[in-house]
Chains A and B, each alone.
Chain A
Amino acid sequence: KAGVTQTPRYLIKTRGQQVTLSCSPISGHRSVSWYQQTPGQGLQFLFEYFSETQRNKGNFPGRFSGRQFSNSRSEMNVSTLELGDSALYLCASSPGGGPSNTEAFFGQGTRLTVV
């Protein structure tokens, strides 16, 4: 069974630009969550999608958005990039059917550098 695939692995963008990251979950998983990881803040939850709907949202500004397609693949978008958006963005997939066990499987992440 293929794991969680994130593309691209590395990105360098300029302040003010926008970026789109992609995540393909494990086959059969319907929940996709996104996290931002930085040395100073640790792992911070961005949002979670289940069956094409945003089910949970963290405390990030509206510049961060996402969506999920009917095949469960998800994208996240960051507009008007700031230097502080430089981070490792991780995607996690889980079956998502119920809240009792949210065992999550992570992709390798996309390293975004904003210059």
Chain B
Amino acid sequence: GEDVEQSLFLSVREGDSSVINCTYTDSSSTYLYWYKQEPGAGLQLLTYIFSNMDMKQDQRLTVLLNKKDKHLSLRIADTQTGDSAIYFCAENRRGSYIPTFGRGTSLIVHP
């Protein structure tokens, strides 16, 4: 299987919460990231969490990390149409200079 796995699509209604999930395989991961890519644009770093943390909150974004299960999630509260984008999970392994990316989850927000 792939090193970082995400489901490909998620559809939510405007105003609901979105939860995007990610699993990774390397227990030595030190930092885990969430990036957002809007159509025709590059990747924008949304937030990251250090591996010794369980949770990080930043306005409408909540990141949860379960190190035991190697599971990372991104919760977007009160999802808006402007949140429609592809969301990439990435991990940075101990000693590595290069993050490993998942294939991205397309979030579709409908009225």
Q: Is the CB of A102 within 8 A of B98?
A: yes
Contact of A103 among B45, B94, B96, B104 (CB under 8 A): B45
Task: Find the A residue at minimum CB distance from B95.
Answer: A99
Q: Is the CB of B97 within 8 A of A99?
A: yes
Assuming A101-B92, A103-B48, is B97 touching A31 (CB within 8 A)? yes
Q: Is the CB of A48 within 8 A of B92?
A: no
Assuming A45-B98, A50-B97, A55-B97, is B92 touching A99 (CB within 8 A)? yes
Q: Is the CB of A96 within 8 A of B42?
A: no
Task: Find the B residue at minimum CB distance from A98.
Answer: B97
- Chain B residues lying within 8 Å of A35, measured Cβ to Cβ, are 101
Q: Is the CB of A48 within 8 A of B45?
A: no
Task: Find the A residue at minimum CB distance from B93.
Answer: A99
A-side interface residues, number (CB < 8 Å): 26
Q: Is the CB of A43 within 8 A of B42?
A: no
Q: Is the CB of A43 within 8 A of B88?
A: yes
Q: Is the CB of B97 within 8 A of A56?
A: yes
Complex CA gap A48/B101 in Å reads: 15
Assuming A43-B103, A102-B31, is B97 touching A96 (CB within 8 A)? yes
Q: Does B44 contact A (CB under 8 A)?
A: yes
Complex CA gap A6/B40 in Å reads: 13
Q: Is the CB of B33 within 8 A of A106?
A: no
Q: Closest CB of chain B to A104's CB: distance in Å?
A: 7
Task: Find the A residue at minimum CB distance from B100.
Answer: A45
- Chain A residues lying within 8 Å of B97, measured Cβ to Cβ, are 31, 48, 50, 55-56, 96, 99, 102
Q: Does A105 contact B (CB under 8 A)?
A: yes
Complex CA gap A37/B46 in Å reads: 19
Complex CA gap A50/B48 in Å reads: 23
Q: List 13 A-B contacts (CB under 8 A).
A: A43-B88, A45-B98, A99-B94, A99-B96, A101-B92, A102-B97, A102-B99, A103-B31, A103-B33, A103-B48, A106-B42, A107-B42, A108-B41
Residues in chain A within 8 A of chain B (CB atoms)? 4, 6, 31, 33, 35, 42-43, 45, 48, 50, 55-56, 90, 92, 96, 99-109
